[in-house]
Structure 1
Amino acid sequence: MTGTRRGAQPTLTGRRVRLRPWRPGDATEVLAACQDPEIQRWTQVPVPYTAEHAQDFVAGIAPRTWDDGGALFAVEPLGGGGLVGSMGLFPPADGFGEVGYWTAPAHRGQGLTAEALGVLAGWASDAAGLHRVELHIDPANSGSRRVAEAAGFTAEGTIRQRFLHRGRPGDVVLYARLAGDPGR
């Protein structure tokens, strides 16, 4: 997908969530969410996370990711209620792509992130033509592991010292969802 001219990034809809392109006005909610210690613990967001980081994410990184063949989406509940989180597909290659996400504290434990992940994985398989979507999750991140499993991803094993987080190598559990897996 990289290097090809793409149309506008779509909006994706599930039963309870909408995944839409980021807008500049979202920076305030991104800034607030990324102050959360759990988001900082499990993701690659800069620490400390500043207003400039949030603005660059919504107005710079998100559009560049789309231009490079991936997609970053703001996740919101269909009925309103503020930002649920971020859901992204990194630019894929060779028919597979990696996804990542974070959830704002007020929306954890409601199943919205799992639904959004399922919507994104389905879109990646159907519209983007990927045969495999992967997640790399720290073994201790039980919340993210539950989200992956609820979205139809299968744990394939632990990859030792695969991930460099804040300068330290760490293990990850490799999760994957194939285009033909049940539950799609």
Structure 2
Amino acid sequence: MYEHTLTDGTAWLTRPTGTDIDRIVECCQDPELARWTTIPSPYHRGDAEDFLDRAVAPGWASNVPTWAVRTAAHGQVEGMVGLHARGHRTCEIGFWLAPAHRGRGLMSRAVTLVCDFAFASDGLDLARITWRAVVGNHPSAAVARRNGFHYEGSTRSSGIQRGSRVDEWHAARLATDPPTPAPNWPDLG
């Protein structure tokens, strides 16, 4: 797959490269990131190098890209958003954001850009994008809901987080779903 930079003039999504390693390591020191994602904890330079070599490069080669989220065309990494193959014309979306940018709509913009590209016939032409999060990850759920993902339920002990089983929330968006906030999400309080 050829590289695609996605932007709406506020968020820029580009392929992360070796020049981003130090910033990725810096962002991944955040305890909240380790709490809700499967990144290694503690996170070291070698982890970022492995991420670029074992996830980013093969992903771009097989039409499941990972983008660095930036606030300027050549700005530093502020987060990541990526797709992971989950069957015919289906991917799972995953994302994280540095603490300084949380709650400002940056990740919602990034997910909008990714979904638009992923569903486009001249993009990835996906039929379905799934999302899942550890129960309690309210910021991630808010981003999914705002981007038209429909809540599909929770599953008990379906995820693995640092060697322990965790309950997960699940949602999905179909290519035919509008990109507006999805109805019928329960109070996940």
Q: Give the TM-score normalised by the residue count of structure 2.
A: 0.88
Tell me the equivalent position of 2:170: 174
Runs of 4+ deviating beyond 4 Å: none
Tell me the equivalent position of 2:183: none
1:111 to 2:105 alignment: yes
Deviation at 1:52, TM superposition (A): 1.1
Deviation at 1:92, TM superposition (A): 4.3
Say if 1:74 and 1:87, in contact at 8 Å, map to a contact too: yes
How big is the alpha-carbon RMSD for the aligned residues of Structure 1 and Structure 2? 1.6
1:131 to 2:127 alignment: yes
Structure 1 residues 64, 79: CA separation in 2 closer, same or farther (over 3 Å shift)? closer
- Over the matched positions of the two proteins, sequence identity in percent amounts to 33
| Count of aligned pairs | 178
Pairing 1:46-125 to 2, within 5 Å after superposition: 46-78=40-72, 82-125=76-119
Q: What residue identity is the alignment partner of 2:61? A: D
Say if 1:164 and 1:170, in contact at 8 Å, map to a contact too: yes
Deviation at 1:60, TM superposition (A): 4.2
Deviation at 1:123, TM superposition (A): 1.1
Deviation at 1:144, TM superposition (A): 0.9
* 2: CA distance, partners of 1:129 / 1:151: 18
Q: What residue identity is the alignment partner of 2:133? A: I
Say if 1:139 and 1:173, in contact at 8 Å, map to a contact too: yes
Q: What secondary structure is seen at the aligned counterpart in 1 of 2:111?
A: helix
Say if 1:138 and 1:170, in contact at 8 Å, map to a contact too: yes
* 1: CA distance, partners of 2:128 / 2:9: 23
- Alignment deviations for residues 119-165 of structure 1 (CA, whole Å, 9 cap, x no partner): 11121111111111010112201111111112221211112221111
1:157 to 2:146 alignment: no
* 1: CA distance, partners of 2:16 / 2:54: 10
Unaligned segments of structure 2, at least 5 residues: 181-189
Tell me the equivalent position of 2:185: none
Q: What secondary structure is seen at the aligned counterpart in 2 of 1:90?
A: strand
Q: What residue identity is the alignment partner of 1:158? A: S
Say if 1:22 and 1:59, in contact at 8 Å, map to a contact too: no
Structure 1 residues 79, 129: CA separation in 2 closer, same or farther (over 3 Å shift)? closer
Q: What secondary structure is seen at the aligned counterpart in 1 of 2:85?
A: coil
